[in-house]
Structure 1
Amino acid sequence: MSKSYDVIIVGAGVIGCSIAYQLSKRKKKVLLIEKNKIGGEASSAAAGMLGVHSEFIGDQNLLNAALRSRDMFTELSRELKEISGIDIELSHNGMIKPACSEIEKGQMMKILQLSTDVEWLSEEDVARLEPKLSKGNHHGGLYAYRDGNVSAGKLTRALAKSAVKLGAYIQEYTPVISFLMERNRCIGVKTLHETYHSQEVIVAGGAWSSKILRGAGFEICGLPVKGECVSVSACKQLVERTIFTKECYIVPKRGNHYLVGATEHPHTFDSKVSAGGIHHLLGKAIDLLPDLAFARLEKSWAGVRPKTDRFLPYIGRLPGRECLAVATGHYRNGILLAPLTGILMADLIDSIEIDPIFGFHHERMLK
C-alpha cells in the first residue's frame, strides 16, 4: 500500500465518505482513515431524513444550501447504485410538521415566504393525508412535499464503496495520533504503526474533530450532542410521510418500519441508551400516532452528533495552517448536507473558490 497521496481524509462517516467519493471522481489519489469502522458513529445512528424544512427556518443561505443538497440525491442515488450496487433507499415521501400551538403556526407561516416547495395544510388536510394521526392536538401543519429520507447506513457504505471502486483507499480501525507539520504546512498524518504523506489533509471526524485537531495545535468551537432513537415495526402502514415536531419525529421506512427520534444530551460522548429517553420518545410518538402503541419494538440506539456554537458547519481551510482543512459540525443534518459538502470540499482541493453558504467564518472557530 502506498504511503503518499493527493488527499488524506480523517474520518469515514457520511461526510468523509462523501468527500472521498467526490475527490475520487476527479481522479485524486485518496486515503480515508477511520479510527473505528466506516459509518460507525453518528452516520449509522441517523434516521436519514432529508428534512430541509425541519430546522432551516432562520437563515436563507443555509436553507438554499440544504435545498441544493437535497436535490442532488436523485442523481446521487442512481450513481451510487450503478457503481457500488447499493440501493440507498431514497424515498420522496414528504414531511408534515404539525403546528402544536397558534404561536408555532405563526412561525411556520413565515417559512412559506422563504421556500417555494412547501404548502400549508389545514387540520382537515392533515387528517386527509395522514388519517391515523391523532385529531385535535394541532392547528394544521407545514407540508414539505419534496423532502424525503434515505437509509443513512447504506448511503455511507455506498459512498465508501464507490470511492474505493474509483481508486480510493480506506484504512479502518486506524486512529490518527498526530499530524506531520513543516512549519505551518500539513504534509500528512501519523497513525500508531504508519506515517502517510499527502498534499492535503481534511479532518471530517464529526463530534471527534475537535479532539483530532488538537494534534495540529488547533481548537474549534463545538460540542458533542448525544441523540437516542428507537425503531418499531407494524403490521400495516401507519403513516406515509415523515412527521416532525419539536418533541419527536417519526420516519417511515420500507416494510412498515418506523424510526422515532431523537433526544438531545449535550456535552457527552456516552452512547449508552437510557430507559427514560426511549420512554419519552415513545410517549410523544404515540400521542401523535396512537396506533404506534401496538407496533413491535425492534431496537434502540444512540449516536453522538457534532454541533457548533453557531449551528453552522465548519467547512474550509483552517486559518494559519496550510494544506489542512475541516468539514464538521453538521449536527442533525449530516445526511442531508453530505452531497453538497463533498462537492464543496472537492472544489476547495481543486482551488475553486467556494461560496461560504454555510456561514463559515474563521474567527468563530477559535475557542
Structure 2
Amino acid sequence: MALRKLTKLRPNHVSASDKGRTLPVHESSHIQSGDIIIVGAGVFGASAALELSRRGHTVTLVDPGPLPHPDASSTDISKMVRPDYGADRFYSHFALECITLWKRWNSEIGRPFYHETGFLVLAGGEMRPTGFEHDSLNVLLQLGYDVDRIDGRELHRRFPAWPSESYPDGYFNPTAGWVESQNVVSWLISEAVQSGVCVLETSMLRLLERGSRVSGIVTREGHDLHANTVIVAAGAWTPTLLPWLEPALQCVGQ
C-alpha cells in the first residue's frame, strides 16, 4: 500500500494544520516539525510514531518512501514471532509480552495479523545445558509456560515431514507464530496518519545540533526539521546515517 493513497498530499510548509497528512518536501527552507522526529517508518518507527501520537505528542515520521519501503527489514510476507531465545530470559519475557499485545491488536483490528501456529525446536542429539534448544526450553518453563517435549517417536506422530532419526530430541512451543509483516506496517502507518502523525517522504542527511544536544535533522533537500527529540529507527541503515556508530553496530544477517 503506497502511503500517498492514505491521505491527500499538500506541498511545502509543515504546520499544526498538517498533522495527519503525508507531505512531500519541496521548496520550504525551514520546516518546524514538532516535538518528536522519527527517522525510519519500518515496524519500529511506525509503531513508535503511533504510540507517541496517542500519548499526545506532536510527531513527524521521516522516510524516503515508498511506504512500506521495499528495502526495509520489516517489509516481507511474514516474520516469525517467538519467545525462544536461548538463555536470554529478559528477551524471552519481552517477547511473551509482545505476543500478548499482538493478540490484543488482532481483537482491535478485527482481523488477524498475528497467527499463532506454534514453534517447533529440534535437536540433532540430546538437548544439553548451554545449548540453544535446552536453554530456550528451560527459560520458558521457568516463566511458567507449557511446552510439549518432543522425542523421535512423538516427532514422527505429530510432524511426520521431519525425519525422526535425525532429531531425537526437542520441544514444541504453542505460544509462538508468525505475523503478516508488510500488512502490519501498512496498517501502523495508516493508523499513525489518522492519529495525527505528519509523514514526510524524504531522508535524513545529518543531525542538527545545538551545543551538546541534538535539535533536529537536515533533510536530503537541505531543509531543517526542528524537534525536542529525534529517534533514529533506521535498522541496518543506522551506521550510514550516524557513521560514528559503525564500529558498534553491524548488520549480521537477515
Deviation at 1:106, TM superposition (A): 8.1
Pair 1:123 & 2:147 matched: no
Per-residue CA deviations over 1:284-328 (Å, capped at 9, x if unaligned) read xxxxxxxxxxxxxxxxxxxxxxxxxxxxxxxxxxxxxxxxxxxxx
Whole-Å separation in 1 of the counterparts to 2:176 and 2:49: 25
Q: Classify the secondary structure of the residue corresponding to 1:43.
A: coil
1:44 counterpart residue number: 75
Q: CA separation in 2, counterparts of 1:104 and 1:126?
A: 19
User: What residue number does 2:217 align with?
Assistant: 189
Which residue matches 1:89?
A: 113
Letter in 2 for 1:50: V
Matches within 5 A, 1:98-247: 98-102=122-126, 107=131, 108-115=133-140, 116-117=144-145, 118-172=147-201, 174-193=202-221, 194-214=223-243, 221-227=248-254
The answer as to whether partners of 2:78 and 2:182 remain within 8 angstroms in 1 is no
Structure 2: segments with no counterpart, 5+ residues: 1-13, 16-31
Q: Counterparts of 1:150 and 1:109 in 2: how far apart (Å)? A: 26
1:201 counterpart letter in structure 2: V
Deviation at 1:71, TM superposition (A): 1.9
Once residues 77 and 218 of structure 1 are traced to their aligned partners in structure 2, the CA distance between those partners, rounded to angstroms, is 37
Counterpart secondary structure, 1:225 = coil
Matches of residues 23-62 of structure 1 in structure 2 within 5 Å? 23-40=52-69, 41-45=72-76, 47-53=78-84, 56-62=85-91
Give the match's secondary structure for 1:98: strand
Q: Matches of 2:75 and 2:166 in 1, distance apart? A: 33
In 1, distance between residues paired with 2:230 and 2:114?
31
**TM superposition score normalised by structure 2:** 0.77
Residue 60 of structure 1 aligns with an amino acid whose one-letter code is: R
Question: What is the identity percentage for the equivalent residue pairs of Structure 1 and Structure 2?
Answer: 25
CA distance in 1 between partners of 2:253 and 2:90 (Å): 27
The residue number in structure 1 matching 2:6 is none
For the 8 Å contact 2:34–2:226, the answer to whether it is kept is yes
Q: Is the 8 A contact 1:14 1:39 kept in 2?
A: no
Q: 2:251 aligns to what SS in structure 1?
A: strand
Question: What is the aligned residue count?
Answer: 217
Pairing of 1:61-76 with structure 2 (within 5 A): 61-76=90-105
Structure 1 residues 102, 46: CA separation in 2 closer, same or farther (over 3 Å shift)?
farther
The 1:192–1:42 alpha-carbon spacing in structure 2 relative to 1, beyond 3 Å, is same
Aligned to 2:10: none
Measure how far apart 1:97 and its partner are. Answer: 1.0
- 3-state DSSP of counterpart to 2:104: helix
Per-residue deviation at 1:211? 1.7
Q: Which TM-score applies when normalising by structure 1?
A: 0.55
Residue 14 of structure 1 aligns with an amino acid whose one-letter code is V
Shift in alpha-carbon separation, 1:42–1:11, aligned structure 2, 3 A = same
Shift of the alpha carbon at 1:46?
6.9
Task: Give the C-alpha shift of residue 12 in structure 1.
Answer: 0.8
Structure 1 residue ranges without an equivalent (≥5): 228-367
Partners of 2:163 and 2:245 in 1: CA distance:
50
Q: Kindly report structure 1 stretches of 4+ aligned residues shifted beyond 4 Å.
A: 103-106, 217-220
For residues 274-313 of structure 1, what are the structure 2 equivalents within 5 Å? none
The alignment's C-alpha RMSD in Å is: 2.2
Any conservation in 1 of the 2:217–2:225 contact (CA below 8 Å)?
yes
Quote the Cα distance in structure 1 between the aligned partners of 2:246 and 2:135.
37
Partner of 1:286: none
d(CA) in 2 for partners of 1:22, 1:170: 15
Structure 1 or 2: more strand by fraction: 1
2:86–2:134 CA contact under 8 A, matched in 1: no
Question: How much does 1:104 deviate?
Answer: 6.2
Alignment CA distance shift 1:10-1:110 (3 Å): closer
